[in-house]
Structures are given as structure tokens and as C-alpha cells.
């Protein structure tokens, strides 16, 4: 059986090679490896930890090794990252065990000749641990300090100033809370006490129906989850849907809905006499929405394949429209840290697509209807700038609410929403 550290190194190498998402790569590898619960938790901790601090780790390792570091084989580099992460940012594993396991991992690979290099470099990192941590604490370079590209750090500083950018990136290294929502369509009423009795901490939130769980493990194993009593949705999304002021019996269109969380929450507000139409560009993803609605017994949700950039007159008009557009995803880097390392150039074409979706979505609104434009990013070029472009072309709309949510101030994912209302004369 493969060791936890070997599995972690292989996952990191796979993500790097295939540009994959960490959550998908981890789930796939763990299903195949058949590790114990404890080792599986260690793998997840190591992979997310290294991804969160990759740039920081690479700078530290390069400084410690000197010349030739850039020629290090990718597999060996990931062994070093895993080792250095444990030495510098965890305190439960003895340094000797960290180094020994790293050497074992290299010796069991095709790069076994590098075992001496790994041993020497990690021992040097350990010997310089205090000075390394001190330099991190005092550094004003937030790209190095919190592990993100300079261009991303500069963008955040331009949009929000140094202090807010610093606090946001610092929060990106913290574990996010697990937020859930009560499902009113379930025949069995959810009672938080049943989870408390299992040793799970349940904390109710100011948003009605929202609560967070701590110590739940894999919630898919909980009988309450299996019965559809609640579903997972971050506080940010729940806050945004609450701001949309959806009333009972209304009709709601969710134009970019997969995997369906916002549609399911909207359904809680419209009730059994309302209507929610959930769309996605791909048939497979619209199928995911339908399966989720079925699990939760939400019969009023209809999932269909539809291109959000192209107006579809057959959909009709709606009281509320949810326009949660594809974006750079910087608000969820606590969950998907690999997003931090994408080139900012990859984000530049998004605003055009986002504006196209917003303009098309507005055509589905009834007179006096209300639309929510939202993203899970913090870049103003994808948020208020898109809204301003829309308003310049659509004088019949006005902003009635707008908010940017931040992990360090609101305790949730980074998120932006803007509530737009069509005027009766628009």
C-alpha cells in the first residue's frame, strides 16, 4: 500500500501536470488508494497545505539550495514541498520523521538518485526554521508571504488597497467553515440536536435556515444528509439569495445554475406553489441539478440545458432572475488554492462573457422584476465594472443593493452581488 505522503506527492504532480482542480484530484486518488481515514485526512492536509503555500515554499527551498534548484525534477520538487510544508507550518510531526519519510518517498520512485539532495535540503530548512518564519512574519511582499503571483497581488492592491489585500490573502490560508441550509421540502423536519448528539458542533447563522457544522467529517455519510434534510451551500451564496427578496409563489430563473445550490435555496423561499427554472450550458451539468433536486425532494425545480448568452423566448418571463456568471473564482481560493497561480491574462476575456450573460438575463425579467448579478471573485473588472457597462446600455434599471463579501470580514467565501430592478417605465 502506498504511504500517505507518496499519495500526496502524486496528487500534487497530477494537478501540476494536468492543471486539474485539487478537490477532484484528491477525491479520485483517495478512492483509488484505499487509505485509512487518518491517512486520507493527512493526504488532504498535505495537498491543500502545499497548494496554499506553493510560491512561498519554492522561494524558501530555492534560497536554501542555491544554484540548480530550477532544474529539480517536478516529482522531487513536490517531495520537497511536502517536506518543507510539514517542517515550517505543522507542529505535530517530528522533523526527523518528516525528513525520513521524504527520503523514503524519493527512494521508492524513479528519482531515487535524488534522495541525498532531499535529505540535505530538508535538514537545512529545519535548521533555519526560526529565521525563515521570522522573515515571513515581517515581509511586506504579500505575494511571497501568502503565496500568490505578483500580478494577482498587484491587482488586489489596486482594487482594494494594501491592507485589505493583505487581510484577504492571509485569510486564504485558513480553513473555511462548512455551511449548510435547512431543506423545507424534506418530509422529515431537520433537528440540529440529532447532529449535536453525534459530537458535531452546529452553529446557527443570522441568515434564516443557514447553519455551519464542525467535526462532521464526510457529511455524505450522515443519515440526515442522505435523507435530504439539508444541503451544502456557503454563507455568501445564502446571503446573496436572501438579498434578492424572493417571495412565496414567485417564479425564479437561474441562468448559470450548476451544481444547483442557489436554485435549491431560491426554492425554499418560493415554496411548493412557486417555480424555479435552472439552466446550464452542458446537459451533464443540468442533469446534476435535476439529480440534486430529486435527492432533496424539490419538485418545483426544472433543470434544462440552455446557453445563457443566447436569449431563449420559450423560457418566458420571471419575477426574479439569478445571474451568477462564470468568473475567475478568486473568492474561493481557500477551497481551490490552485486558482491563485493562474495567469491574470486568463481572466481578461471574462468580462465580455459576463456582460453578454447579464444583458441576456435581463430580458427574462417581468416588469418590476428583480435580477441578481453575482460572482465568486473579488476583481472589480468582473464585478462593478460589468454592472456599470450594463447600466450604461440599459437605462431602465437601477441598483437597489450591492455588496462585496470577504472571508476576513464576513466569515464566508469571497463573493460579489448586485441587485438590479427593472423600473416600471424601463
Sequential DSSP letters for 262-304: HHHHHHHHH-TTSEEEEEESSHHHHHHHHHHHHHTT-TTEEEE
Backbone phi, psi, residue 27, to 5°: -60, -45
Query: DSSP states of 304-355 as a string?
Result: EE--TTS--GGG--EEEEEEE-----GGGTTT-GGGGGS-GGGGTTHHHHHH
| Whole-number pLDDT of residue 24 | 85
Residue 286 and residue 277: Cα distance in Å, rounded?
A: 11
pLDDT at 47 over 90: yes
Mean pLDDT across the chain? 94
Rounded to whole angstroms, how far apart are CA atoms 18 and 6?
Answer: 18
Question: From CA 225, how far away is CA 19, in angstroms rounded?
Answer: 32
pLDDT tens digits for range 2-17: 888 999 999 999 888 8
Q: What is the pLDDT of residue 37?
A: 85
Q: Where are the domains of the chain?
A: 4-138, 142-173, 236-422
Cell of 227: 435523507
Which contiguous run of DSSP H or E holds residue 177? none
Which pLDDT band, with edges at 50, 70 and 90, does 19 fall under? Answer: confident
Rounded to whole angstroms, the Cα distance separating 394 from 93 reads 59
* Integer angstrom CA distances of residue 3 from 42, 123, 287, 303: 10, 21, 37, 42
Catalytic residue among 376, 385, 412, 418: 376
**What is the Cα–Cα distance from 373 to 347, expressed in whole angstroms?**
18
Give me 409's grid cell.
470580514
Note if 376 is an active site residue. Answer: yes
Q: Which helix (H) or strand (E) holds 213?
A: strand 210-214
Position 93 scores a pLDDT of: 87
Q: Which three cell numbers stand for residue 368?
A: 418590476
Q: Which pLDDT value is given to residue 151?
A: 94
For position 21, what pLDDT does the model report? Answer: 77
- Quick check: 262 pLDDT over 70? yes
Residue among 255, 271, 254, 272 nearest 263 (CA): 254
pLDDT at 426 over 70: no
- Would you identify the CATH topology of the domain 236-422? Rossmann fold (3.40.50)
354-406 tens-digit pLDDT? 999 999 999 999 999 999 999 999 999 999 999 999 999 999 999 999 999 99
Chain segment 289-318, per-residue pLDDT in tens? 999 999 999 999 999 999 999 999 999 999
For domain 4-138, give the CATH number.
Answer: 1.10.940.10
Amino acid at each position: 500500500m502506498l504511504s500517505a505522503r507518496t499519495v500526496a506527492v502524486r496528487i500534487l504532480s497530477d494537478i501540476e501536470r494536468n492543471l486539474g482542480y485539487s478537490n477532484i484530484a484528491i477525491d479520485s486518488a483517495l478512492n483509488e488508494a484505499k487509505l485509512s481515514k487518518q491517512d486520507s485526512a493527512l493526504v488532504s492536509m498535505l495537498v491543500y497545505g502545499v497548494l496554499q503555500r506553493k510560491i512561498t515554499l519554492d522561494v524558501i527551498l530555492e534560497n536554501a539550495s542555491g544554484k540548480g534548484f530550477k532544474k529539480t525534477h517536478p516529482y522531487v520538487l513536490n517531495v520537497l514541498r511536502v517536506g518543507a510544508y510539514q517542517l515550517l507550518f505543522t507542529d505535530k510531526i517530528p522533523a526527523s520523521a518528516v525528513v525520513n519519510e521524504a527520503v523514503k518517498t524519493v527512494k521508492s520512485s524513479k528519482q531515487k538518485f535524488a534522495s541525498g539532495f532531499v535529505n540535505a535540503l530538508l535538514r537545512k530548512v529545519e535548521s533555519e526554521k526560526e529565521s525563515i518564519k521570522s522573515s515571513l512574519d515581517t515581509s511586506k511582499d504579500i505575494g511571497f508571504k501568502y503565496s500568490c503571483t505578483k500580478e494577482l497581488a498587484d491587482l488586489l492592491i489596486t482594487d482594494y488597497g494594501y491592507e485589505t489585500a493583505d487581510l484577504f490573502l492571509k485569510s486564504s490560508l485558513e480553513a473555511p467553515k462548512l455551511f449548510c441550509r435547512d431543506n423545507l421540502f424534506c418530509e422529515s423536519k431537520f433537528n440540529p440536536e440529532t447532529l449535536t448528539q453525534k459530537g458535531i458542533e452546529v452553529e446557527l447563522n443570522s441568515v434564516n435556515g443557514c447553519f455551519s457544522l464542525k467535526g462532521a467529517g464526510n457529511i455524505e455519510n450522515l443519515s440526515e444528509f442522505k435523507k435530504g434534510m439539508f444541503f451544502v451551500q456557503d454563507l455568501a451564496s445564502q446571503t446573496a439569495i436572501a438579498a434578492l427578496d424572493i417571495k412565496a409563489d414567485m417564479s425564479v430563473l437561474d441562468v448559470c445554475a450548476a451544481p444547483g445550490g442557489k436554485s435549491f435555496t431560491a426554492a425554499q423561499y418560493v415554496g411548493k406553489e412557486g417555480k424555479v427554472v435552472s439552466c446550464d450550458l452542458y446537459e451533464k451539468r443540468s442533469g446534476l441539478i435535476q439529480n440534486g433536486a430529486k435527492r432533496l425532494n424539490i419538485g418545483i425545480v426544472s433543470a434544462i440545458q440552455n446557453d445563457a448568452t443566447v436569449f431563449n423566448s420559450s423560457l418566458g418571463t420571471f419575477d426574479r432572475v439569478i445571474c451568477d456568471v462564470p468568473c475567475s473564482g478568486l473568492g474561493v481560493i481557500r477551497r481551490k488554492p490552485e486558482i491563485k497561480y493562474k495567469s491574470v491574462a486568463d481572466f481578461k476575456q471574462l468580462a465580455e462573457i459576463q456582460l453578454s450573460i447579464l444583458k441576456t438575463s435581463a430580458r427574462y425579467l417581468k416588469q418590476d422584476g428583480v435580477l441578481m448579478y453575482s460572482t465568486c471573485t473579488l476583481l472589480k473588472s468582473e464585478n462593478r465594472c460589468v454592472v456599470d457597462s450594463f447600466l450604461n446600455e440599459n437605462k431602465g434599471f437601477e441598483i437597489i443593493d450591492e455588496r462585496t463579501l470577504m472571508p476576513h470580514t464576513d466569515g464566508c467565501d469571497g463573493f460579489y452581488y448586485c441587485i438590479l430592478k427593472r423600473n416600471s417605465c424601463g
